[in-house]
Structure 1
């Protein structure tokens, strides 16, 4: 399934203050969210419909990998947009690759709409990553 294409601008009052809601406070993690680092948020879920109207963007981990993570949720657009920042547990689903023994955890929050993260594809993100890895990235000279 393709990734949802919803994008929203990070609201100046909510996202910059969000790290304070995480254990350890705003100064503990090096990847604190600020308006300069995160002006726009992209929904990371697979394409979803009105059965699950909220879009979701991962902001950062709240601690060890098993600890809940900080997510930004929103619905609507423009003046009708409603958003919230919430610390929620990770989805407990895992995908076990029997041939290799690799275990892959779902990268979404608990009770997200289907599918799990390993079934969501982002062709544009894959293309950009492929070009950067092959050295065909943007010319910076």
Structure 2
């Protein structure tokens, strides 16, 4: 189960592209309640893949901030908590939600045990993907939903 209550977490920082914040594997494990018995290298690779995807989706956001003279997401003005601004917090939330959603599909093959229907359900995966998508839409200045003519 994704309870995150046992074992040791691994401290490892994934270096980002210079604009978006670096991503701490331990913060991901703790904030998304990932069990410590999943190989940390596997988790780090999942984060690396997700970071690459989300950075691509946020190219326009990065370019907008660069045009305003902000060369690091951490420099963009806004609400802050413990030295982290809203843009960086949103970025990490999007990355963590999507990475966990991607891991849910792999989890039952990684850990030898019966699946937990509540923690590994398609509904949870869909909620995590929706969480990530909504945060990304917000970062792009879009509303939660839009209607477009096809």
TM class by smaller structure: under 0.3
What TM-score results when the alignment is normalised by the length of structure 1?
0.26
Structure 2 length as normaliser, TM-score?
A: 0.25
Greater per-residue strand proportion: 1
